[in-house]
Amino acid sequence: MSGVFPFRALRPAASFVHRVAAPPYDVVNVAEAQDLVRGNPLSFLHVEKAEIDVPTVNGVEDRRVYERAKENLAALMRQGILVAEKTDVFHLYRQRMGKHVQTGLVACVALAEYETGRIKRHEFTREDKECERTLHIDTVGAQTGPVFLTYRGREEIDRLVERVVARTPEYDFEADDGVEHAVWTLREPTEIREIREGFASVETLYIADGHHRAAAAAAVSRLRSAQNPADRGDEQHHFLLAVLFPHDQIRIMDYNRAVRDLNGLSEAEFLDRIGERFEISDRFPEKSPRRPHEFGMYLNGNWRLLTARTGILVEDDPVAGLDVSLLQENLLRPVLGIRDQRTDTRIEFIGGIRGMSELERLVDRAGFAVAFSLYPPTVGEMMAVADAGRIMPPKSTWFEPKLRSGLFVHLLE
């Protein structure tokens, strides 16, 4: 069973929500964040990415950043911009991006389930990014952004969600990127009980997005437990802020690649080497693959279609059979010399939300030699990797729409 817990969220007063809500801290760099907050002192980026308010930052361990984040959060609370719930509640959070709609439950889950593997992951975390978020959560005394979880959908949960979203939402606004956001609050004890009973039959939760947030929350929980001899196990630091979506509502977009050079090969030599493992079509006006095991390739101003030859397909391994693995093991590694995608500076990763035009820009004007578009993995493939206790290759999944930061804060103190 999966335990979900109502909590006393700290969240914006409705009249301020459109100014507070911000992109997640890890999808914008400092310069982009500074542009986004210009003229908007209420943006939650002042909390989530407080380095925008510190003149010179000396690495991830510069504690001035986290102290400034704490000050900025306290200021939003002091001004009445962010207000804490008076009782433990659940929320429903709906996002609409074009025709795509997903509705998730905002709740806390037990970090004990994460530590024991009941909440499954599919990515490694980077030490520097985990350290940064650990310092942030511990210093601020809050989980300032939720982890994106998914579960195999259940009809009884869906029916309750449909009933609630028929009401007038407390928040209903469109962000600058065109994504619509709406929030409903569940305060009635009977509805809270229905939610908890519905999730009691959900066997497994999966991290879709937010591996570093989850790892950092667990690290803070261990730290605070060790510092408190009277720790009971039910303090707020033992719980993780999350939004839980049914698997059949979420979508994974393509996560594409660009490489700076051809590893010393001429274009003709490069194409010959690729042709050993892929069929090459010289014209590909669609640019983005329409089915698994196909890849778009942009080289010297032209799009080509690469189709994996039957001999390289892997059917009996949930990781090796992924398209990102096929591309790595049959082209990026043997032909372009990309041995470790995590550390090789010659490769760049581009989320599918940025479109094929970004791949063209990188090759045409930004000094890259070649770019590849991929067909995205399915949610089922992601779950199969996690169920097998395995890890997907780096930058395999790009989820859209992103959860907006600032809508829900989980205070630890």
Q: Would residue 410 be called left, alpha or beta, if left means φ above 0 and alpha means ψ between -120 and 50 degrees?
A: beta
The CA-based diameter of the chain, rounded to the nearest angstrom, is 69
Q: Would residue 207 be called left, alpha or beta, if left means φ above 0 and alpha means ψ between -120 and 50 degrees?
A: beta
Q: What is the 8-class DSSP label of residue 330?
A: I
Look at residue 167 and tell me whether its pLDDT is greater than 60. yes
Q: Please, what is the end-to-end C-alpha distance for the chain in angstroms?
A: 28
Question: Which has the closest alpha carbon to 323: 281, 370, 378, 362?
Answer: 378
| 129-147 per-position pLDDT tens digit | 999 999 999 999 999 999 9
Position 125, amino acid: T
The label of the residue with tokens 């760099």 reads 29
Confidence of residue 413 (pLDDT cuts 50, 70, 90): confident
Which uninterrupted H or E stretch holds 224?
Answer: helix 211-227
| 272-330 per-position pLDDT tens digit | 999 999 999 999 999 999 999 999 999 999 999 999 999 999 999 999 999 999 999 99
Q: What does the mean pLDDT of the chain come to? A: 96
Question: Residue 87 is encoded by which pair of tokens?
Answer: 């009782």
| 268-286 per-position pLDDT tens digit | 999 999 999 999 999 999 9
Between the alpha carbon of residue 70 and those of residues 51, 84, 278, 305, the distances in Å are 12, 16, 53, 50
Confidence of residue 355 (pLDDT cuts 50, 70, 90): very high
CB 110 within 8 A of CB 4: no
Query: What would the mean pLDDT of 232-254 be, rounded to a whole number?
Result: 96
- Other Cβ atoms within 10 Å of 342 Cβ, number: 10
Look at residue 265 and tell me whether its pLDDT is greater than 70. yes
Look at residue 126 and tell me whether its pLDDT is greater than 90. no
User: What is this structure's pTM?
Assistant: 0.93
Question: Which has the closest alpha carbon to 151: 201, 96, 215?
Answer: 201
pLDDT given at position 197: 95
Look at residue 254 and tell me whether its pLDDT is greater than 80. yes
Query: What would the mean pLDDT of 187-193 be, rounded to a whole number?
Result: 96
Query: What would the mean pLDDT of 72-78 be, rounded to a whole number?
Result: 98
Q: In whole angstroms, what is the distance from residue 413 CA to residue 411 CA? A: 6
Query: What would the mean pLDDT of 180-191 be, rounded to a whole number?
Result: 97
Look at residue 69 and tell me whether its pLDDT is greater than 90. yes
| 49-63 per-position pLDDT tens digit | 999 999 889 888 999
pLDDT given at position 96: 97
3-class secondary structure for 374-398? Answer: ECCCCHHHHHHHHHCCCCCCCCCCE
pLDDT given at position 1: 57
Look at residue 24 and tell me whether its pLDDT is greater than 60. yes
Domain boundaries, the chain: 4-251+401-411, 255-375
Q: Give just the sign of the alpha carbon dihedral 204, 209, 215, 218.
A: negative
Q: In whole angstroms, what is the distance from residue 349 CA to residue 367 CA? A: 15
Look at residue 2 and tell me whether its pLDDT is greater than 90. no
Q: Nearest 10 degrees: CA dihedral of 131, 136, 138, 144?
A: -130
> Which is it for strands 205-209 and 147-151: parallel, antiparallel or unpaired?
antiparallel
| 102-111 per-position pLDDT tens digit | 999 999 999 9
* CATH topology assigned to domain 255-375: 3.30.1760
CB 149 within 8 A of CB 205: yes
Share of the chain above pLDDT 70, in %: 100
pLDDT given at position 272: 98
